[in-house]
Amino acid sequence: MSTATDVYYDPYDVAINADPYPTFARLRDEAPVYYNEQYDFWALSRHADVEKGLVDWRTFSSRHGDILELIQSGLTLPPGVVLFEDPPLHPLHRGLMSRVFTPKKMAALEDEIRAYCVQCLDPLVGRDRFDIIQELSIVMPMRVIGMLLGIPESDQEAVRDKSDATLRTEAGKPMEVREDNIADGSMFVDYIEWRSKNPSDDLMTALLNAEFEDHLGETRTLTRDEVHTYTQVLAGAGNETTGRLIGWMVKVLADHPDQRREIVADRSLLGAAIDETLRFEPTGPHIARFVPDDVEYYGTTIPGGSAALLLVGAANRDERRYERPDEFDIHRDDIQHLTFGFGIHYCLGANLARLEARVALDELLNRFPDWDVDMSDAALAPTSTVRGWDRLPVVIP
Ligand code: HEM
């Protein structure tokens, strides 16, 4: 394949990030294996390559993390973080974590999530304008993780601020990686100690008591350090991603009022609307991996020791995979997307995120069947890992 193309992509470029889809289309067509010299990373963009790459953990390893800056930082990552592990350790830790993500547990949270949503949205009724990010996106997902873990309400905001600050980047620049901000779990220490003495029917109590066989063949419960890490991983993985999804739902349905009206009339469409939003505007446009050994794509060798981005945002709109990929269409037969990843690291919180988004949209539509967004006052977040709105004013007609 010829590499004679001037297509340029980097995840820190604010202008590209504002609308990455034309660049993604050019990457798929002109440089399906792409190298960025400035930031020294490779990128795959076609659906088939991204999907296969996510499954093939030997070629695309998570051992140095799944964020470009982490992989390139050369830091030693904390042990026990599922996202940063390959087999044989990964299935062990994932198995333990997934025990508490049962459909039964998820279903039990629905009423609580709905009550919280109602509490956020009811005060907005009668207003002709509000910022959905401040009113719902920023607050709800952390509360839900809090519900899951049993974190007291008073501690929840501090927990969220700490976790978001870790992912925040200066516009146009890579994220700063420091040893003390990777999944250290420090925010949860007091709470975990308190919960260990006050057990209840929550994920934290389940985690503290879960018995498992470790990689040395010993049956034991998790150490406190391990519990801290687990909790931080959940908060880091499930907070901003889900918040940004709520923002995108509001934006995309403002742009497609006909489809929004259909959902108002038929709530069985909520699930499809959420997955089509995840396909169309994925909150995480790329997943990074470490490439331990040389691998060839389209006649070009990605050298061993490289970092690679698997461009989920490009894959989700690959015309080789989807019909009319640039159209938002909640009636697609096959909405499956790669936004929750694929293969062994497939998002453990996918059903929780879907549940939150479904309840949020349902309650929003109950109060506001019509809305528009004021794009002159909207702002995209300057985060390289998660793409979404920092401010999104909703205007009620
Ligand atoms: C819209 C919301 C969300 C999106 C887009 C999302 C996306 C992802 C993606 C792409 C991965 C795979 C990363 C990789 O392959 O390296 C992942 C993994 C994970 N997610 Fe989510 N996530 C969301 C919500 C949540 C929630 C609500 C939770 C939990 C409270 C959660 C917990 C996790 C965990 C624990 C993993 C690690 C699984 C593993 O490594 O085996 N996520 N998520």
Q: 234 CB less than 6 Å from ligand 1?
A: yes
- CB count within 10 Å of CB 327 equals 12
Residue 321 lies in a domain: yes
User: Which residue has its alpha carbon closest to ligand 1 atom 25?
Assistant: 238
In angstroms, what CA-CA distances link 311 with 140, 202, 342, 344, 381? 28, 35, 13, 17, 19
Note the pLDDT of residue 216: 85
Minimum-distance ligand 1 atom for the alpha carbon of 148: 30
Note the pLDDT of residue 298: 97
Q: 80 CB less than 6 Å from ligand 1?
A: no
Residue 70 lies in a domain: yes
Note the pLDDT of residue 185: 47
Q: From the CA of 319, how far away is ligand 1's center (Å)?
A: 26
Cβ partners under 8 Å of residue 371, min gap 6: 250, 253, 254, 394, 395, 396, 397
Q: From the CA of 128, how far away is ligand 1's center (Å)?
A: 35
Rounded CA-CA distance 136/178 in Å is 30
User: Which residue has its alpha carbon closest to ligand 1 atom 2?
Assistant: 242
Note the pLDDT of residue 180: 44
Q: What is the CATH number of the domain that holds 278?
A: 1.10.630.10
Q: 17 CB less than 6 Å from ligand 1?
A: no
Note the pLDDT of residue 164: 53
Q: From the CA of 5, how far away is ligand 1's center (Å)?
A: 34
Residue 315 lies in a domain: yes
Q: 388 CB less than 6 Å from ligand 1?
A: no
Residue 3 lies in a domain: no
Note the pLDDT of residue 92: 87
Rounded CA-CA distance 9/13 in Å is 8
Note the pLDDT of residue 161: 58
Residue 7 lies in a domain: no
User: Which residue has its alpha carbon closest to ligand 1 atom 16?
Assistant: 66
- Test site for ligand 1: of 137, 347, 352, most ligand atoms within 8 A of the Cβ: 347
Beta strands in the chain (DSSP E): 33-36, 41-44, 129-131, 212-213, 219-220, 287-291, 295-297, 300-302, 306-310, 372-373, 379-380, 389-391, 393-395
The dihedral formed by the CA atoms of 43, 48, 53 and 54, expressed in degrees to the nearest 10: 110
Residue 6 lies in a domain: no
Q: 284 CB less than 6 Å from ligand 1?
A: yes
Dihedrals phi, psi of 77, to nearest 5 degrees: -85, 150
Q: 360 CB less than 6 Å from ligand 1?
A: no
Q: From the CA of 10, how far away is ligand 1's center (Å)?
A: 23
Q: From the CA of 221, how far away is ligand 1's center (Å)?
A: 24
Q: 314 CB less than 6 Å from ligand 1?
A: no
CA-CA-CA-CA torsion sign (238, 336, 384, 15): negative
Q: Mean pLDDT for each 10-residue chunk of the chain (397 residues)?
A: 78 94 98 97 98 98 94 83 91 83 83 94 97 94 82 61 54 54 54 83 81 86 84 84 97 98 98 98 97 98 98 98 98 95 96 96 98 98 88 97
Q: From the CA of 342, how far away is ligand 1's center (Å)?
A: 10
Question: Structural domain tally of the chain?
Answer: 1
User: Which residue has its alpha carbon closest to ligand 1 atom 34?
Assistant: 348
Cβ partners under 8 Å of residue 213, min gap 6: 219
Task: Name the residue range of residue 354's domain.
Answer: 14-395
Note the pLDDT of residue 1: 46
Residue 1 lies in a domain: no
Minimum-distance ligand 1 atom for the alpha carbon of 346: 12
Residue 201 lies in a domain: yes
